[in-house]
A and B are shown apart, each in its own frame.
Chain A
Amino acid sequence: QSVLTQPPSASGTPGQRVTISCSGSSSNIGSNYVYWYQQLPGTAPKLLIYRNNQRPSGVPDRFSGSKSGTSASLAISGLRSEDEADYYCAAWDDSLSGHAVFGGGTQLTVL
Chain B
Amino acid sequence: QVQLVQSGAEVKKPGASVKVSCKASGYTFTGYYMHWVRQAPGQGLEWMGWINPNSGGTNYAQKFQGRVTMTRDTSISTAYMELSRLRSDDTAVYYCARDDGHYDSSGYYAHSSFFWGQGTLVTVSS
Query: Does any Cβ of A come within 8 Å of B114's Cβ?
Result: yes
Q: B44 in the interface, Cβ–Cβ < 8 Å?
A: yes
**Chain A-chain B contacts (Cβ-Cβ < 8 Å), number:** 49
Question: Which among A33, A44, A92, A98 is the interface contact of B116 at CB below 8 angstroms?
Answer: A44
> A44, A88, A98 — which one has the most chain B CB atoms within 10 A of its CB?
A44
Whether B46 pairs with A50 at a CB distance below 8 angstroms is: no
Distance, CA A98 to CA B37, complexed state (A): 15
Distance in angstroms from A9 CB to nearest chain B CB is 13
Binding site for B on A (CB under 8 A): 2, 33, 35, 37, 44-47, 50-51, 88, 90, 92, 97-105
Q: Are A100 and B44 in contact (CB under 8 A)?
A: no
CB-contacts of B88-122 with A (<8 A): 95, 100, 111-119
Cβ-defined contact, A100 with B115, below 8 A? no
Determine if B112 and A50 form an interchain contact, defined as CB atoms under 8 angstroms apart. Answer: yes
Give chain B residues whose Cβ lies under 8 Å from the Cβ of A2. Answer: 44
Number of interface residues of B (CB under 8 A): 19
Are A47 and B118 in contact, with the CB atoms below 8 A? no
A35 & B116 in contact (Cβ 8 Å cutoff) = no
Residues on B lying within 8 angstroms of A by beta carbon are 35, 37, 44-47, 59, 61, 95, 100, 111-119
The answer to whether A45 and B59 touch (CB under 8 A), given A100-B35, A102-B45, A102-B47, is no
A44 and B113 contact, Cβ closer than 8 Å, known pairs A2-B44, A88-B44: no
- B116 in contact with A97 (CB, 8 Å): no
* CB neighbours of B61 from chain A (8 A): 99
Of the residues B35, B112, B117, contact of A44 by C-beta under 8 Å: B117
Complex Cα distance, B37 from A100, in Å, reads: 10
A37 near B59 with CB under 8 A, answer no
Q: Known contacts A99-B47, A100-B47; is A46 also within 8 Å of B111 by CB?
A: no
